[in-house]
Amino acid sequence: DETRERASLLSPTQPPTALQRHPHIALLGSVPRWLAALESLMAATALEGATELDITSLLQPRQGYLSKLGGGQEKGSKWNRRWFVLRDNVLMYFNSPKDFTGFRDKPSGVVLLEECNVRTRDERGQPAARPFTFVISHANGESVVLAADSENEMLEWMQAVRTSRMCVTDSEAISMSEVRRRETAETELNNAMTRRADADAELASIETELESVQLEHHKVELQKEKAEKELKELMARFKLRKSLLHWRHRKLTLSFRALITIVFRARVDSAKSKKGTCDLQAAMMQDEMNAAVSARQKAEAAKRKSEEMLAKELALKKEGEVDSRECEKVFATESNKTYSVSQQESQLLADGAGNFRADTKEKEEVLALALQLANLKCESELIQQQLKRRAPAVSLPSA
């Protein structure tokens, strides 16, 4: 495609227009002038005795990043950031600095600065307004809109374009003969036509290969369809055979079970009878075992209860012995008190207390003593009853 576009640009019968130019080349001015500028650069380098331009010879006073408005006119809407290189009256731009290694490298675009006009752009009312914008235009109406990152950078670029030694008619360009230009253009045209023929041959070869590939693909598709059809038939046969084998297996299983039942019926019945008897005996033995376990549990419970009662009886016996000793001590003490009171009473009677006539105070004292004696007798009888209930074997001594 690039070869065809370049051939159409260099064709002498069809003058180049904006639509016929390569989409990645922004060329201001006519093709001969562009070729003349390129030829002047190549000739200047050839005079130095070098066949290939060194990158150091391409270093210019001005190069750097600028934003370019797409479409090649002032009414574009998309900005593209490119690396611009200014040399003589040619302003080239690349996608990045690494793409610029020499003059023979193909730039993304070329702007011819001969008879150009540089001015700032009025951004009011523009659809893609951007600050620090300037325009490089020619008398034929073609223009390129560029934008810098700062105002100082914009002014430096504008001054560099204005003061370029090729912005006006250059003596080198004037001295170049028209024959040399025509020969260069014809050489470029021949090269472009050769490349176009090579591209057409390559395209024809590719189309032939594509047709063969499509034919092979068609054959493969037919083979694939045939294989899929055969696979479906094989799957259907396999499913049918599988169902038949399953039915035969089930039928043989039922027949074998019926044969076994007929041949071994007596043995099976005897085995079932024996199994029933064994199950009954096992159930009876299980019941007996459960009864034995229950009796054992009851015996163990009775044993535990007997041991508890024996322990309680021993504890009560020990408590009774302790209470008996305490009661004997209390009974002995009370008996001694009763005995002493009885002796005092006998002594008083012996002394003639029965015939004694006392006054009121003495009578009260005697009555109090008699009351105490009666209380002591009551307490003694109560203690004796308690001792009889707790320790019936103990006999109370007589008063």
For the domain that residue 6 is a member of, what is the CATH number? 2.30.29.30
Q: In terms of domains, do 147 and 281 share one?
A: no
Q: In terms of domains, do 17 and 160 share one?
A: yes
Q: Structure pTM?
A: 0.32
Q: In terms of domains, do 170 and 319 share one?
A: no
pLDDT at 173: 46
Where does the pLDDT of residue 171 fall: very low under 50, low under 70, confident under 90, or very high at 90 and above? very low
pLDDT at 333: 79
Distance CA 300, CA 305 (A): 9
pLDDT at 205: 92
Residue 93 has pLDDT above 80, yes or no: yes
337 in any annotated domain: yes
In terms of residue numbers, what domain contains 51?
A: 2-176
Where does the pLDDT of residue 180 fall: very low under 50, low under 70, confident under 90, or very high at 90 and above? low
Structure tokens at 396: 């109370």
pLDDT at 251: 92
Beta-bridge partners for 63: 85
85 in any annotated domain: yes
pLDDT at 178: 55
Where does the pLDDT of residue 355 fall: very low under 50, low under 70, confident under 90, or very high at 90 and above? low
High-pLDDT (> 90) share of the chain, % = 31
For the stretch 257-291, pLDDT in tens is 888 888 888 888 888 889 999 999 999 999 999 99
For the stretch 53-67, pLDDT in tens is 333 333 345 889 999
**CB within 8 A of 43, min separation 6: which ones?**
176
Name the domain boundary from 176, 200, 215. Answer: 176
Name the domain boundary from 120, 153, 176. Answer: 176
pLDDT at 82: 93
Q: In terms of domains, do 169 and 294 share one?
A: no
Q: In terms of domains, do 164 and 49 share one?
A: yes
Residue 155 has pLDDT above 80, yes or no: yes
**CB within 8 A of 82, min separation 6: which ones?**
65, 66, 67, 68, 93, 94, 95, 108, 109
Residue 397 has pLDDT above 50, yes or no: no
CB atoms within 10 A of CB 103: 20
Q: Look at the block and give the residue holding tokens 């576009």.
A: 5
385 in any annotated domain: yes
Distance CA 29, CA 31 (A): 7
Q: In terms of domains, do 8 and 124 share one?
A: yes
Where does the pLDDT of residue 88 fall: very low under 50, low under 70, confident under 90, or very high at 90 and above? confident
Q: In terms of domains, do 141 and 275 share one?
A: no
265 in any annotated domain: no
190 in any annotated domain: no
316 in any annotated domain: yes
- Average pLDDT on 188-213 reads 88
Amino acid at 78: K
Distance CA 84, CA 60 (A): 10
- Average pLDDT on 310-320 reads 88
Q: In terms of domains, do 171 and 280 share one?
A: no
284 in any annotated domain: yes
Name the domain boundary from 147, 176, 205. Answer: 176
Distance CA 338, CA 329 (A): 14
Domain count for the chain: 2
350 in any annotated domain: yes
Report the chain's mean pLDDT, rounded to a whole number.
75
Maximum average pLDDT range among 101-105, 281-285, 334-338, 367-371: 281-285
Q: Which of 203, 29, 44 is nearest to 9 (CA)?
A: 29
Q: In terms of domains, do 171 and 315 share one?
A: no
Q: In terms of domains, do 151 and 15 share one?
A: yes
pLDDT at 367: 77
